[in-house]
Amino acid sequence: MTGADSLLDRAGDVRAGEELDVAKVDAFLKSRIPGLEGAPAIGQFARGASNLTYQVRYPGRDLVLRRPPFGHKAKSAHDMAREARVMKALKPFYPVVPAVLAVGDDLSVMGCEFFVMERIAGIIARQDLPAELGFDAAMTRKLCINVIDKLVELHSIDPAASVSPGKGAGDEGRDLRALGKGEGYVERQVEGWSRRFRDARTDDVSDFEAVMAWLAAHRPRREVAIRAIHGDFRFDNVVLDPADPFKVIGVLDWEMATLGDPLMDLGNSLAYWVEAGDDEYFRMTRRQPTNAPGMLTRAEVIGHYAQRTGLPVADFGFYTVFGLFRVAVIVQQIWRRYRDGASKDPQFARFGPLVTYLDGRCRRLAGV
pLDDT tens across the length of the chain (368 residues): 445 667 888 889 998 889 999 999 999 999 999 999 999 999 998 765 568 999 999 999 999 999 998 764 544 556 899 999 999 999 999 999 999 999 998 899 999 999 999 999 999 998 999 999 999 999 999 999 999 999 999 999 989 877 655 554 344 446 788 888 889 999 999 999 999 999 999 999 999 999 999 999 999 999 999 999 999 999 999 999 999 999 999 999 999 999 999 999 999 999 999 999 999 999 988 999 999 999 999 999 999 999 999 999 989 999 999 999 999 999 999 999 999 888 778 888 889 999 999 999 999 999 99
How would you list the strands of the sheet with 41-44, edge to edge?
A: 41-44, 52-58, 61-67, 114-118, 100-104
122 phi, psi to nearest 5 deg? -170, -165
Number of compact structural domains in the chain: 2
Chain-centroid distance of CA 226 in Å reads 19
265: closest CA among 129, 348, 351, 157? Answer: 157
Residue 169's pLDDT is 38
- Specify whether 161 is located in the same domain as 62: no
CATH number of the domain within which 95 lies: 3.30.200.20
**Residue 295, in any domain of the structure:** yes
Q: What share of the chain is helix, strand, coil (3-state, %, to 5)?
A: 45, 15, 45
Question: Measured between alpha carbons, how far is residue 269 from residues 54, 183, 264 in Å?
Answer: 24, 21, 9
**Residue 126, in any domain of the structure:** no
* β-pairing verdict for 52-58 and 41-44: antiparallel
Residue 174's pLDDT is 61
Taking the CA atoms of residue 274, residue 279, residue 285 and residue 286 in that order, the dihedral angle to the nearest 10 degrees is 30
Residue 77's pLDDT is 56
**Residue 221, in any domain of the structure:** yes
**Residue 12, in any domain of the structure:** yes
- Specify whether 17 is located in the same domain as 74: yes
Among 92, 118, 144, which residue terminates a domain?
Answer: 118
Beta carbons within 10 angstroms of residue 23's beta carbon: 10
CATH number of the domain within which 351 lies: 3.90.1200.10
Contact 228, 154 (CB under 8 A): yes
**Residue 125, in any domain of the structure:** no
- Specify whether 164 is located in the same domain as 308: yes
Chain-centroid distance of CA 236 in Å reads 8
Residue 172's pLDDT is 43
User: What residues contact residue 16 under an 8 Å CB cut-off, 6+ apart?
Assistant: 344
- Specify whether 206 is located in the same domain as 352: yes
Q: What is the DSSP secondary structure assignment for residue 12, as one 8-state letter? A: B
Residue 19's pLDDT is 92
Residue 266's pLDDT is 98
- Specify whether 197 is located in the same domain as 329: yes
Alpha carbons 173 and 168: distance in angstroms, whole number: 9
Among 118, 146, 181, which residue terminates a domain?
Answer: 118
- Specify whether 74 is located in the same domain as 135: no
343: closest CA among 7, 13, 18, 9? Answer: 18
Contact 314, 155 (CB under 8 A): no
**Residue 123, in any domain of the structure:** no
**Residue 239, in any domain of the structure:** yes
**Residue 353, in any domain of the structure:** yes
pTM over 0.95: no
When computed from its CA atoms, the radius of gyration of the chain, rounded to whole angstroms, is 20
* β-pairing verdict for 258-260 and 227-229: antiparallel
- Specify whether 57 is located in the same domain as 139: no
Domain that holds residue 20: 3-118
Beta carbons within 10 angstroms of residue 70's beta carbon: 16
Q: How many helices (H) and strands (E) does the chain have?
A: 11, 9
Looking at the chain, list the stretches that DSSP marks H as alpha helix, in order from N- to C-terminal side.
Answer: 22-32, 80-90, 107-110, 137-155, 185-200, 209-218, 262-270, 280-284, 298-309, 317-339, 351-366
- Specify whether 70 is located in the same domain as 109: yes
- Specify whether 109 is located in the same domain as 204: no
- Specify whether 233 is located in the same domain as 109: no
Among 94, 118, 142, which residue terminates a domain?
Answer: 118
- Specify whether 241 is located in the same domain as 337: yes
Alpha carbons 108 and 63: distance in angstroms, whole number: 20
- Specify whether 279 is located in the same domain as 303: yes
CA terminus-to-terminus distance, the chain? 53
Q: What is the DSSP secondary structure assignment for residue 214, as one 8-state letter? A: H
Alpha carbons 261 and 155: distance in angstroms, whole number: 9
Residue-wise DSSP of 301-336? HHHHHHHHH----TT-HHHHHHHHHHHHHHHHHHHH
